[in-house]
Structure 1
Amino acid sequence: MLFNTFYKMHRIKGLALLGAILLFASCKQKESQAFDPWKQMTQIVDSITLPTFRADTLNILDFGAVADGVFDNTDVFRKVMDTCSKAGGGTVLVPKGRFLTGPIHLENNVNLHLEEGSEIMFSKNLDDYYPLVHTSYEGTELMNFSPLIYAYKKKNIAVTGKGVLNGRAGNDFWWPWCGKDSYGWQEGAPKQHSSLKKLKEEMSEVDVPVNQRIFGKGEFLRPTFIEPFSCENVLIQGVKIINAPFWVIHPIKSVNVTVDGVVVESHGPNNDGCDPEYSKNVLIKNAVFNTGDDCIAIKSGRNEDGRRVGIKSENIVVQNCKMIDGHGGVVIGSEVSAGVRNVFVENCTMDSPNLERAIRIKTNSKRGGVIENVYVRNLKVGQVREAVLKINLFYGIYGIQKGDFIPEVRNIHLENVQVKNGGKYGILAKGYAQLPITDITLKDVLIEKVDAAYSLENVTNLNFINTRINGKIMQTKSNSLEH
């Protein structure tokens, strides 16, 4: 009798525990099934605040601007920007014509609008890029030449219209500083490498305050083109941007940034099309990128400077863009020390014999960083040279870079991707044995004309769902791979 009672009691407890376990598992399964990253993307896009402006319009001609491509309109732009902002904001209109100027600094609540047929030409006089401003070079903060269009701690700002922004960089100005003869550098001429070494080894690595990292004339670090720094509610729309000194559109430490319908045509060194850095809620859509470097490159600081700042780039959405020439279509890295997460790419086309990769992640153990939650869908690729998806965690453009910060890459999804000519590899991925790349999924992907389906090292959970490479149905690989 006593035994039967004891047995029944423990059987009831066991069934209750089993029921709780099953209920928990069911809830977790439903939670997993319920999560839709594309709904998350929609929520991010809906949350991005566009700037709004008063109806007032100020024409730069009314402030003494001259459209002959020779007269220096720097003071005109400064005066009209200040006047417009102090009056509560509105539109600064650049009418048809060619206007020469030094850097333009945007002010709160002002839309710089370029009428169709207008062109802003930027100065080739280094003195015009003074006073030096708080900016960044390849993921390291410093005081340097002003970006060509700059805003610092501003809200509700825009650059819009159908005009042209011409940085006038070329083999005679700005570009030779990269140190390559293909961009006009000649033996014995100055170049950026000595300045970069000074910035890194003598300043960033020993934590010199940013306001004491003084560069400018006598150093050789080129300015970015459009840089909203620590700004909120930014719109860059419609304009064509050519001949950039360095990175083209560089939102840094900014929130709610929309880049819409721009055309970037600039084949200079480091001419990345758009580089969100330490930024959140960034929408890049309807744009054309034809560049000398990555079309879009998402950043979050380099090495110790990125870890010092410690702001992830997150909630980055790329929609309906066209990538032509470039080192990569959508790239994360290489300066990603603070990490990148929640990147969404959809409905884009990529096609050029000069486009090297479609989707690329690059960093190393000196830079580190956690890169996670990258979702790509509805991508049409005509031709890329090296790989459709490349993940290189041993990136070393300045030589071998090793440190104690092993990067983490996880949760990369490609869906409904069609590639006509994939180059050398469908997937080229190399991770670390102690911290492998994990959870790559290709669903409904069709890749044609690649030399090899994949080359993998230290990758776990590579999932193929209805995916064909070179006509062969691909099988899921759950274990660490070496090839």
Structure 2
Amino acid sequence: MKLKSFSIFLVIGALFINSCSVSQKPKYGKSTGKYQNLEFDMNLVQEPIIPNNEVKITDFGAVNGGEVLCTKAFADAIAALTKKGGGKVIVPAGVWLTGPIILKSNIEIFASAGALIRFSTNKDLYPIIETSFEGLNTWRCISPIYGKNLENVALTGTGVWDGSGGAWRAVKKSKLTANEWKKLVASGGVLDETKENWYPSEQFKLGGNGADQNVRFDLHTKEEFLAIRDFLRPVMVSIQNSKNVMFDGPVFQNSPAWCLHPLMVENLIVRNITVRNPWYSQNGDGIDVESCKNVIVENSSFDVGDDAICIKSGKDKDGRDRGVPCENLIIRNNIVYHGHGGVTVGSEMSSGVKNMHVSNCTFMGTDVGLRFKSTRGRGGVVENIFIKDIWMTDIPSHAISFNLYYGGKSIEETLAEGGGPTNTKLMPVTEETPQFKNIKIKNVVINGATQAVFLQGLPEMNLENIELSDLQINADKGFTIVDANGVNIHNVKMVSKDPTAFDIFNAKNVTLRNIEFNSTSAEAVKINGSVSEKIELISNSKMDFKKQTKLGNSVPKVAVKF
């Protein structure tokens, strides 16, 4: 009798739980509490609240097959739900052609398994608008997916969003095979005088003349920008000045420029997504999180043509005037295949970046693994960055890179051109001086890289308080440390081809402890620079720094302590 009563209780309880799970609406809602075991204080990221209403785009005339434009069907579906306070737009399995989709508050677009949403290549459908691109205030074509001043927005499901980026991007001959190049040229477009660069149109080619990293500073009016509209390729997904935004599940691919660009978003969740761009796609970033607060990027994969997961906060004066830092970020459990950087900060970081946690990420063949970049003129402060449990293989340039002389090219491109000259002249410190400080990186495996670690600050603003620990390294070259103050490196096992394991120039307050490397050279550690000081090299039972360190003539005798 007792067993029967208990069984009835279990059945009733299960029915009650199931009933609650079915009727629990909205599907997403508030998250309360804080993240545990985090290096800084951060509340759980609030999920969007989506009302319990659903429509299909086919209810509003959408036609499957990829031949009939479904822009109006998307707009009408969103409008119908908006009248009800919001809800879910369902994109069924099939191929759907559309122009720009304008998001509204309290809207979720669910791309069903088997759904492919392709954006039209007809550029007449994409009017130019005032927006931000590469951290600057400018004019660009409206994004295929666009929203501004919104609250509660989600893109979910497991379908595919395709930006038809091949119709927008220029391509370098050097990045294609001979057959691929021949096919591209035969498809239309125009070549430059050298026959080494292909452009989608003459207007695009015209627009590129005089551009500084894709932005024309010499143009000011809408009419002037309209004359080069083809050149003004948009980011694929642009959500600006909004709250409670989520990307969960879909594939985003083939973007005209950057793929995902949340700008000034508070409470951003990115999880379980796949981002794919051709490896040769110029400015084909995966996701650029810019001036956002309370962000989590997790359980996702990226295979792209530029930086994969990139953190930004505006460029130069436009960024400083905005004054909105990127802060409180968790980036974890992600995989990056091709990309110019696995996780990147900058180079547009003029409003600052602070409080960022990165963990459990794998980078396979990315040009750079962990990449920090800026240059004079940016200003801004990057601080309180905590990175751990990173696995890298086959990195063509620097596995860990801090480059304060960034000039717009990938490090692999710079190295291929013979390296980048740096200006070591001391400059005045102003609001335009970028600063990187308080950064800890630990438990990193580097299995193949041209160089393991490259740390380069500015003479007038050194990298400050950089701690690297528990590194396992197999690379062609070891460490370069230039213009840095407060570098603590410990628990390192390194195998490198270059006999110089550590090359140090004008560094202060540097400690090397519990270091093992395979070099037997008397110049395994080279120290140069007249302002080098307080460098402590702590030997151990397996190696003696005194026997393997070479001091330059300009280094003060008291600068190094063994």
Residues 480 and 75 of structure 1, relative CA distance in 2, 3 Å threshold: farther
Cα shift at 1:452: 2.1
More displaced, 160-169 or 133-142? 133-142
Q: Tell me what 1:407 maps to.
A: 434
SS state of the match for residue 385, structure 1?
Answer: strand
SS state of the match for residue 311, structure 1?
Answer: coil
Task: Output the TM-score relative to the length of structure 2.
Answer: 0.72
Structure 2 distance, partners of 1:56, 1:117, is 22
Equivalent pairs counted in the alignment come to 432
> Does the alignment pair 1:75 with 2:67?
no
* Mapping for residues 247-262 of structure 1, pairs under 5 Å: 247-262=258-273
Select which of 445, 456, 460 maps to 1:430.
456
Cα shift at 1:47: 2.6
Structure 1 distance, partners of 2:533, 2:481, is 11
> Does the alignment pair 1:468 with 2:505?
no
Residues 400 and 385 of structure 1, relative CA distance in 2, 3 Å threshold: closer
Q: Is the 8 A contact 2:38 2:357 kept in 1?
A: no
Q: Tell me what 1:275 maps to.
A: 288
Q: Is the 8 A contact 2:40 2:355 kept in 1?
A: no
SS state of the match for residue 257, structure 2?
Answer: coil
Q: Tell me what 1:417 maps to.
A: 444
Cα shift at 1:134: 3.5
Residues 96 and 366 of structure 1, relative CA distance in 2, 3 Å threshold: same
Which residue identity is paired with 2:439? Answer: I
Cα shift at 1:400: 9.1
Q: Tell me what 2:191 maps to.
A: 186
Q: Tell me what 1:391 maps to.
A: 402
Cα shift at 1:51: 0.6
Residues 480 and 265 of structure 1, relative CA distance in 2, 3 Å threshold: farther
Residues 196 and 316 of structure 1, relative CA distance in 2, 3 Å threshold: farther
Select which of 116, 119, 134 maps to 2:116.
119
> Does the alignment pair 1:290 with 2:300?
no
Which residue identity is paired with 2:443? Answer: N
Cα shift at 1:181: 7.2
Select which of 236, 245, 266 maps to 1:225.
236
Q: Tell me what 1:266 maps to.
A: 277
SS state of the match for residue 251, structure 1?
Answer: strand
Which residue identity is paired with 1:292? Answer: G
Residues 330 and 216 of structure 1, relative CA distance in 2, 3 Å threshold: farther
Which residue identity is paired with 1:443? Answer: S
Structure 1 distance, partners of 2:94, 2:299, is 26
Structure 1 distance, partners of 2:331, 2:60, is 38
Gaps of 5+ in 1: 1-36
| Seq. identity, % | 31
Cα shift at 1:216: 4.5
Select which of 316, 319, 341 maps to 2:332.
319
> Does the alignment pair 1:305 with 2:339?
no
Residues 167 and 326 of structure 1, relative CA distance in 2, 3 Å threshold: same
Q: Tell me what 2:417 maps to.
A: none
Cα shift at 1:193: 3.1
> Does the alignment pair 1:103 with 2:100?
yes
Residues 341 and 241 of structure 1, relative CA distance in 2, 3 Å threshold: same
Gaps of 5+ in 2: 1-34, 177-183, 185-189, 194-201, 410-419, 503-510, 514-526, 536-550, 553-562
Q: Tell me what 1:215 maps to.
A: 225
Select which of 48, 52, 57 maps to 1:51.
48
SS state of the match for residue 225, structure 2?
Answer: coil
> Does the alignment pair 1:136 with 2:132?
yes
Which residue identity is paired with 1:163? Answer: G
Residues 262 and 342 of structure 1, relative CA distance in 2, 3 Å threshold: same
Q: Tell me what 2:473 maps to.
A: 447
More displaced, 259-268 or 91-100? 259-268
Q: Deviations over 1:142-169 (max 9, x none)?
A: 2321111111101000111000001112
* Larger RCO of the pair (alpha carbons < 8 Å, separation 6+): 1
Q: Deviations over 1:98-120 (max 9, x none)?
A: 00000111111010000000010
Residues 216 and 76 of structure 1, relative CA distance in 2, 3 Å threshold: farther
Structure 2 distance, partners of 1:119, 1:94, is 9
> Does the alignment pair 1:201 with 2:217?
yes
Which residue identity is paired with 1:386? Answer: S
Q: Is the 8 A contact 1:199 1:213 kept in 2?
A: no
Residues 91 and 374 of structure 1, relative CA distance in 2, 3 Å threshold: same
SS state of the match for residue 74, structure 2?
Answer: helix
Q: Deviations over 1:256-301 (max 9, x none)?
A: 1111111011021111101011111111111100000011111111
Q: Is the 8 A contact 2:320 2:379 kept in 1?
A: no
Q: Is the 8 A contact 1:326 1:356 kept in 2?
A: yes
Residues 70 and 290 of structure 1, relative CA distance in 2, 3 Å threshold: same
Structure 2 distance, partners of 1:53, 1:87, is 11
More displaced, 465-474 or 295-304? 465-474
SS state of the match for residue 253, structure 1?
Answer: strand
SS state of the match for residue 349, structure 2?
Answer: coil
> Does the alignment pair 1:169 with 2:174?
no
Structure 1 distance, partners of 2:227, 2:334, is 37
Structure 2 distance, partners of 1:244, 1:371, is 28
SS state of the match for residue 357, structure 1?
Answer: coil
SS state of the match for residue 127, structure 1?
Answer: helix
Cα shift at 1:214: 6.8
Structure 1 distance, partners of 2:224, 2:133, is 12
Q: Tell me what 1:152 maps to.
A: 148
Cα shift at 1:196: 3.6
Q: Is the 8 A contact 1:285 1:318 kept in 2?
A: yes
> Does the alignment pair 1:456 with 2:509?
no
Q: Is the 8 A contact 1:436 1:480 kept in 2?
A: no
Cα shift at 1:227: 1.1
Task: Output the TM-score relative to the length of structure 1.
Answer: 0.83
SS state of the match for residue 209, structure 2?
Answer: helix
Q: CA RMSD in A?
A: 2.8
Which residue identity is paired with 1:66? Answer: V
Cα shift at 1:74: 0.6
Structure 1 distance, partners of 2:225, 2:81, is 32
Which residue identity is paired with 1:83? Answer: A
SS state of the match for residue 475, structure 1?
Answer: strand
Which residue identity is paired with 2:337? Answer: I
Cα shift at 1:40: 3.9
Cα shift at 1:414: 0.9
Q: Is the 8 A contact 1:143 1:214 kept in 2?
A: no
Q: Is the 8 A contact 2:39 2:386 kept in 1?
A: no
Residues 383 and 400 of structure 1, relative CA distance in 2, 3 Å threshold: closer
